[in-house]
């Protein structure tokens, strides 16, 4: 009888089999980190995607701990303005995020994206595991082979480092300051360049 009661207690209190837990959804989100110049302009394209849970703009790739926007934008920290994408891999694949990344940058300019100049505005893919590295390198090779660009693709594919969240006023900037965002984006020449590159067949 004692053994029987002990078994019942173990079943009732085992956290693996407690009532309701077997019915709880198991969510496994992943992260991706991209740099493509001004992070205001890189957040919006990913926010629109089905399966993207959230985006966070910030700084990564450098040596300065807890950098500020003023420090990064002045250069010298080694960091690049970046966007961290949290996504559900059951709804959107990492290689689909890569496609969106390539379609929103100029991969042929080192240490520059459109009007923003300096290593803090370089384009880069910061991979978080070997699978992301493999997929990033394959996507870059396909783009190089496509003949879409007449200059070499110089976008970095490098291991992820500590990602520092940017100041709150930079998060969702395109929503908080839509007029200023649209003015900046138009004058940067980004959209005109992207339309030209991707409207033409290679």
> What are the residue numbers of the active site?
38
Distance CA 78, CA 125 (A): 15
Phi-psi region of 132 (alpha: psi -120 to 50; beta: other; left: phi over 0): alpha
Are 23 and 77 contacting, i.e. CB atoms less than 8 angstroms apart?
no
C-alpha neighbours within 13 Å on the C-beta side of residue 197? 20
Beta strands in 66-185 (DSSP E): 80-87, 112-113, 116-117, 123-127, 156-159, 164-165
Say if CB 32 and CB 132 are below 8 A apart: yes
30 close to 94: Cβ distance less than 8 angstroms: yes
Strands (E), 44-181: 52-60, 80-87, 112-113, 116-117, 123-127, 156-159, 164-165
């Amino acid at each position: 009888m004692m053994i029987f009661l002990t078994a019942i207690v173990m079943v009732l209190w085992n956290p693996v089999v407690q009532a309701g837990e077997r019915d709880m959804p198991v969510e496994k989100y992943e992260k991706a980190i991209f740099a493509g110049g001004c992070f205001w302009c890189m957040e919006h394209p990913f926010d629109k995607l089905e399966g993207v849970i959230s985006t966070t703009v910030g700084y990564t790739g450098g040596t300065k701990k807890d950098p500020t926007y003023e420090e990064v934008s002045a250069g010298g920290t080694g960091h690049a303005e970046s966007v961290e994408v949290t996504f559900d891999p059951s709804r959107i694949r990492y290689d689909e995020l890569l496609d969106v990344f390539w379609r929103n940058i100029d991969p042929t300019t080192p240490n520059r994206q459109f009007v923003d100049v300096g290593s803090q505005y370089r384009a880069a893919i910061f991979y978080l595991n070997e699978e992301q590295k493999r997929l990033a390198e394959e996507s870059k090779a396909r783009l190089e082979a496509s003949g879409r660009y007449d200059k070499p693709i110089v976008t970095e594919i490098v291991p992820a480092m500590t990602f520092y969240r940017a100041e709150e006023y930079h998060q969702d900037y395109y929503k908080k300051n839509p007029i200023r965002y649209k003015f900046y984006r138009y004058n940067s020449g980004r959209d005109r360049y992207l339309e030209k590159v991707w409207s033409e067949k290679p």
